[in-house]
């Protein structure tokens, strides 16, 4: 998928579903359920907690790409090293999301022709990530930082597109959009690992619908122009 298309897809839907703790055996049903709710951007996170975690993550990316193809926009999350960016790109990931700001990961991601979304906490980190080539800067953890903090950081840095992760709900997402946040990563509030384990994929679809409706309401109110 072309880089421009990946960015347009994220900009249009504004929500990236964070899939964490779901193994290869249930990943395709999970992705289909999220897609059925209207969300096509999906971040499959690296699991660094087990010996087989990295391999399982790569297999999950491959399965979603093979099963849904260009119906979905798949990225890799918790990318901590340049090597992981390379492995994820080989598996089919279109973008790399990290909890922190590592220039080596950003640069390698861009060399691979992929979208870079590193994490940042301070204005200094935001500027450094942007200077290194980031396409979006992930403000994490947004729920802890708070809306007023994000507004203050965005004030002098409006030229840098920001993605908020953590503490975002359908009820408050409009406030973050009003503050100029461009996109959102939504984890447990959207992708419940417990629901996946029970086979209750309908719950994921309903959660995705809730977020899509919230974004659409904001757009329909005439606030969707950037």
SS3 156: coil
Range of the domain at 147: 3-219
Across all residues in the chain, what is the average pLDDT?
A: 96
With respect to residue 224, please indicate whether it lies within any of the assigned structural domains. no
Of residues 85, 113, 112, 83, the one with CA closest to residue 97 = 85
Mean pLDDT computed over 72-100: 98
The pLDDT assigned to 225 comes to: 53
- 126-138 as b/e, with b when 16 or more CB fall inside 10 Å? bebbbebebbbbb
Mean pLDDT computed over 29-42: 99
CA–CA dist 83, 88 (Å, integer): 9
With respect to residue 183, please indicate whether it lies within any of the assigned structural domains. yes
With respect to residue 210, please indicate whether it lies within any of the assigned structural domains. yes
Q: Is residue 70 within 8 Å of residue 1, measured between CB atoms? A: yes
The pLDDT assigned to 58 comes to: 99
The pLDDT assigned to 223 comes to: 65
With respect to residue 50, please indicate whether it lies within any of the assigned structural domains. yes
With respect to residue 226, please indicate whether it lies within any of the assigned structural domains. no
Residue 174 belongs to a domain with what CATH number?
3.20.20.70
**pLDDT category of residue 2 using cuts at 50, 70 and 90:** low
Q: What is the pLDDT of residues 124-139, one digit of tens each?
A: 999 999 999 999 999 9
Q: Is the Cα dihedral 26, 195, 207, 96 positive or negative?
A: negative
The alpha helices in 14-170, defined as continuous H runs, are: 24-36, 53-68, 82-91, 103-111, 123-132, 142-145, 147-154
With respect to residue 151, please indicate whether it lies within any of the assigned structural domains. yes
Number of domains, the chain: 1
Mean pLDDT computed over 189-197: 97
Mean pLDDT computed over 8-17: 96
CA–CA dist 62, 42 (Å, integer): 13
With respect to residue 225, please indicate whether it lies within any of the assigned structural domains. no
């Amino acid at each position: 998928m072309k880089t421009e298309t990946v960015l347009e897809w994220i900009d249009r839907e504004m929500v990236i579903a964070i899939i964490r703790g779901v193994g290869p055996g249930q990943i395709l049903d999970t992705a289909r359920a999220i897609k059925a709710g209207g969300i096509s951007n999906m971040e499959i996170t690296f699991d660094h907690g087990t010996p087989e975690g990295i391999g399982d993550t790569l297999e999950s990316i491959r399965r979603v790409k093979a099963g849904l193809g260009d119906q979905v926009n798949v990225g890799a999350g918790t990318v901590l090293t340049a090597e992981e960016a390379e492995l994820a790109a080989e598996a089919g990931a279109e973008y790399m999301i990290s909890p922190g700001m590592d220039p080596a990961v950003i640069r390698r991601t861009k060399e691979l022709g992929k979208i870079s979304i590193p994490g940042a906490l301070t204005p200094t980190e935001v500027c450094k990530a942007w200077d290194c080539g980031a396409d979006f800067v992930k403000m994490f953890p947004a729920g802890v930082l708070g809306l007023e903090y994000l507004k203050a950081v965005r004030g002098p840095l409006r030229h840098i597109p920001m993605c908020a992760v953590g503490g975002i709900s359908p009820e408050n997402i409009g406030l973050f959009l009003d503050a100029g946040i461009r996109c959102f990563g939504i984890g447990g509030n959207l992708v419940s690992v417990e629901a996946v384990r029970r086979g209750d994929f309908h719950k994921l679809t309903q959660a995705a619908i809730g977020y899509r409706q919230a974004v659409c309401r904001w757009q329909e109110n005439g606030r969707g122009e950037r």
